[in-house]
Structure 1
Amino acid sequence: MIKINVGKNLEIIREHFNKSQTEMSNMLEISLQRYNNYEKERRRLPVEIAKKISEEFSLSLEAVFFANELFELLNFEDQKSA
């Protein structure tokens, strides 16, 4: 079974766009604790929140959920094999 690490993807997106967790939570209109729970994978990321992230950063919804898509879009060629 393939493990999808959405929390790590959120962290990569946030850091790529030089955002803090506080800025992300404000943008998404959720609490900092809730955002942190998504990034730490203590809560599942709802599609509605993923869609807001994808729209805000002009990413595909797939890129939020799947590392290969994300790495390709952000040109992380060296991390594709990770």
Structure 2
Amino acid sequence: MSEEQLKAFLEAVKADAGLQEKIKAAADADADAVVTIAKAAGFVISAEELKKSQAELSDEELEGVAGGTISIGLSCGWCA
């Protein structure tokens, strides 16, 4: 996975209520569920890179993705 793919996926989640809902629905799932959602949306990301990147994302980026925080089994806050 490239950093660009992850950033593009996060931007897509920010802009797409449908993707936000899918991420919300996967709130108790692991990183593989998010990877599957990303793949279905046309992005190539890996669970390993997703886990690594969550530590690198700023609070502003996390809040900006969908306006809040959920847990997806990774303590990752991508959407409300």
Whether TM exceeds 0.5 here: the answer is no
Which category of TM-score, normalised to the shorter sequence, fits these structures?
Answer: 0.3 to 0.5
Q: TM-score by structure 1 length? A: 0.32
Q: TM-score by structure 2 length? A: 0.32
Larger gyration radius, structure 1 or structure 2: 1
